Structure 1
Amino acid sequence: MGKLDGKVALITGGSDGIGLATAQRFVAEGAYVFITGRRKEMLDAAVKKIGEKNVTGIQADASKLDQIDKIYEVIKKEKNTLDIIFANAAVLNLATLPAVTEQQFDDTFDINVKGVLFTVQKALPILKDGSSIIINSSIHSIKGFEAHSLYAASKAAVRSFARCWSVDLKDRKIRVNVLSPGPIKTAMLNHAMGAKNTEELDANFERFVSAVPLGRYGQPDEIAKVALFLASDDSSYITGIELFVDGGLAQI
């Protein structure tokens, strides 16, 4: 018996990194999973890696409402129900305050904030009472890093969503929680390092990891295991929280 036997889940941004690792773990625990991604080649490769049998890939941009509608059209046609949403799709635009552009602002908030809001809102008609909504945030919701102000503000915004939605949806017993990773070995982390070459990237990694109390980076599956906890009945009495999975970086 898996912890998610018979459950249906949606994971946005599921074609790589944390989203892909979570989709693999959810399927292994018995769920049927819909994953989304903007790039078809990556999405197809992710479906193949997960195993194809219990997963559907949907090419969609989480910042566009008509494409979110397309996601739910597919889910309604195939399953007509949802038990779990992992709102994971996000982008990272690096820029110090003097360099921030309107386009960077729009890109960041359209995907990281607007996309999360309408992904959840448009799911409500098929989302079962007692379901679990998980929003992927970041330690940036409470910490400041150079050139990360747009990303950090967007992650603080979705943390606030969870507080309010926990109240909005309490009568339906729908739990809303936030998962906030620290430094996890993904392509986004490489980008966050802002390095110009491999040598600079390695040096930045070494300097950054020295600040992590556990002395290492996390792996995507370590986030997936926590997402599984929040998705399953193991967390049945938990709602409205922000659960940090960061090796202690933002805690100590």
Structure 2
Amino acid sequence: MEKFKDKVVVITGGNSGIGYATAKEFKSQGATVVITGKREDALQKAAQELQVTGKLADQANLQDIKKLAGEVRALQNKVDVLFINAGVAFFAPIEYTTEEQFDTMTDVNFKGSFFTLQQFIPLLSDGASVIFLTSNSTAMTMPGSSVYAAGKSAVGHLARIAAKELAPRKIRVNTVNPGPTQTEMIGKFGLDEATLKGMTESILAQMPLAKIGTAEDVAKMVAYLADNSTSSFITGAEFFIDGGLAV
């Protein structure tokens, strides 16, 4: 079914992982999809595979965000679904977290999310859907996740305020909060294979459903929240997709 025929969907960080899977889901349902990424080769490859439009943009850079909004306006002149997905993560105890790690996560995850929403508000159609990717870490106190969890919690609060501010235009704003998900980001945490294996085993032991999620699991939830025929009465809400880990 082409539920999103004639709809324009913008996905930040759409060249890999959850963003890529979500772009594929929307494309399969008839949407016109624009993805962003800051790695040109990866972006071009993903755009070609998905048969969508790719735009080079770094979510941590306000000028890139402004340029992206202008390019989307020139290309489509509207946005029906905005999935603010791009993010970065480092894990270290508070004592050993560097200023560079702090700034990078804050600039991409919170500042970037805030200004992406800000710059796209004039482009959003009345009745549009905005979805932020946060994390189940917003409900947990995992050692080593202080900056990441705080930043994602800030995004969650931003989403709830945006839901109220944009409600007069019937624009709905929600968050999806994944737990451990099998994507290439896991390989960017700087952990060796043995540490990753031990961490995965520890997480599975705490998880009621005892399995790691997939990018496709998250993509289907994003599509559900974007569809006015299934979620027209949902705004300011958060959806945990983590196998029950945060319970």
TM-score (norm 1): 0.94
Shift >6 Å, 4+ stretches:
none
CA deviation string 1:102-157 (max 9, x = no partner):
22211111110011111111111111111000000000111011211110001000
Matching residue within 242, 245, 252 for 2:241: 245
Structure 2: runs of 5 or more not aligned: none
Confirm or deny that 1:100 pairs with 2:100.
Answer: no
Question: How many angstroms does 1:204 deviate by?
Answer: 2.3
CA deviation string 1:141-188 (max 9, x = no partner):
110112111100010000001111111111111000010001100122
User: Counterparts of 1:1-252 in structure 2 under 5 Å?
Assistant: 1-50=1-50, 52=51, 55-192=52-189, 195-196=191-192, 198-233=193-228, 234-251=230-247
CA–CA distance in structure 1, aligned partners of residues 203 and 169 of structure 2: 42
CA deviation string 1:37-87 (max 9, x = no partner):
01011111111221x2xx110111001111011111221121111001000
CA–CA distance in structure 2, aligned partners of residues 201 and 184 of structure 1: 13
Q: CA RMSD, aligned part only?
A: 1.2
Over the matched positions of the two proteins, sequence identity in percent amounts to 41
Return the structure number with greater helix share: 2
CA–CA distance in structure 2, aligned partners of residues 226 and 151 of structure 1: 22
Q: Name the aligned partner's letter for residue 240 of structure 1.
A: G
Structure 1 residue matching 2:90: 3-state secondary structure: coil
TM-score (norm 2): 0.96
Structure 1 residue matching 2:173: 3-state secondary structure: strand
CA contact (8 A) 1:195 1:204 kept: no
CA–CA distance in structure 2, aligned partners of residues 116 and 141 of structure 1: 16
Structure 1: runs of 5 or more not aligned: none
Aligned residues: 246
Question: How many angstroms does 1:101 deviate by?
Answer: 2.1
Q: Name the aligned partner's letter for residue 8 of structure 1.
A: V
Q: Name the aligned partner's letter for residue 219 of structure 2.
A: A
Question: How many angstroms does 1:191 deviate by?
Answer: 4.0
CA–CA distance in structure 1, aligned partners of residues 240 and 7 of structure 2: 25
